[in-house]
Amino acid sequence: MDAHHDLARFTWELGPAGGEALVAGFDVAVLTEDGRVSKIHGFLDKVPARV
């Protein structure tokens, strides 16, 4: 996780246990003054090809 002022970024992967990730991306959380999450922006870096 990376954080700076009121933003925090974290990466994630989704796939079978022990296998290759099928989907991967990162989210950016916008925090309030007291540290609560006010918004989350999600980004996809890897998605399965359409068949």
| Model pLDDT, residue 1 | 87
Q: Mean pLDDT per 10-residue run, the chain (51 residues)?
A: 95 96 97 96 94 69
User: For the chain, which domains are there?
Assistant: 2-46 (3.10.450.50)
Q: Which long-range contacts (CB under 8 A, 24 or more apart) does 14-21 make?
A: 21/46
Measured in whole angstroms, the distance separating CA 25 from the mean position of its chain's CA atoms is 5
Looking at the DSSP bridge assignments, the partners of residue 42 are 27
| Model pLDDT, residue 50 | 82
Which structure tokens are listed for 5? 């002022």
| Model pLDDT, residue 35 | 92
Assign 3-class secondary structure to the chain: CEEECCEEEEEEEECCCCCCCCEEEEEEEEECCCCCEEEEEEEEEECCCCC
Rounded to two decimals, the pTM is 0.78
